[in-house]
Structure 1
Amino acid sequence: MSMIVKTELNRRGFFAYSSAAALTVGVSSRAMALEAEGASDYQYEVIRTEAEWRAQLSEFDYAILREGKTEKQKSSPHWNETAEGIYHCKGCDLPSYDGKWKVVLKKGWAFFYHAVPNNVLTGIDGIIPPEYGDSAAGFAALIETHCRRCGSHLGHLLIVEGIQTHCINGASLVFKSSTT
């Protein structure tokens, strides 16, 4: 079974410059504006108690989808999946990413150029801590992607290899092949 990365230092440190770059190209401007406007009051369509979430998800999946943890690199079979199909949110089955927008990068997570329109929201996922040793530490934040319907954590918006991508935990997704 895959293990949850106990610290997000390696992944976040590795991608810190990506998130800072994303901030400079305006990726998070709407997210910041929504947070400033009080959009934290957003009402999700699917609402479950903690007990209901825990009954539906494994402990590993719960840590990622509900607590915002990150899976270990290359621990999900979705990271290098190339079949045609749709990736759905594991929390509520909302179609979130189309396989035709997926790009396989050797970083070890599932990367997509963009999400299914209107099905993924973004938010600020905390300021990069100074101990990460990044010049943006204390000022820039990672931009989280989460499900519009149930609020489950999916991953982050990042610039990787010069391309803005959605870097998504495979554990957040259920793949439904269009060829079967």
Structure 2
Amino acid sequence: MKTFIVSEYEVNLKNYEDIMNINEVTFHGCTGCWSCWWRTPGRCAFKDLEQYYTNYINADTVVYFLDTKTGFVSSKVKKLFDRMIPLFLPYSNFHTGESMHHPRYEKYPSIKIYYKDTDILDNEKTVLEEYLHRTFYQFHSKDISVLPLSEFKEEQL
């Protein structure tokens, strides 16, 4: 089982080599050019996240360790999520009663998210957790877990 770890801070996990610290990676924000759908399907015009896309789509599980800024994800994480659009087709469906892009791939990874829960209010936790669940539901992940970092245990990975 392949696990890909994406973190906003240094994580010391003994059994994992495939770790991306997003603060050590420089990448552009999505410009809405739609190149990933029309000119180079599945490939962003910017080549700065190609390894991330490959690792993400080939993983069985992707684990995110997120910091929280003013009760929400950081701008860098939001930018990363915005840049995931090449992983989906430009066509929409309404099978679930809401608009969703068609998946480009047959399978998408399970998602585990651990967020720093210090200095965050209960209502902010609720908004954050709902946002993260909805985001990865829209990203066609079937198994989504969002937990405060205080509940993290490495053996759960």
Q: TM-score, normalised by structure 2?
A: 0.28
Q: TM-score, normalised by structure 1?
A: 0.26
Higher strand share: 1
Q: Which structure has more RCO (C-alpha within 8 Å, separation ≥ 6)?
A: 1
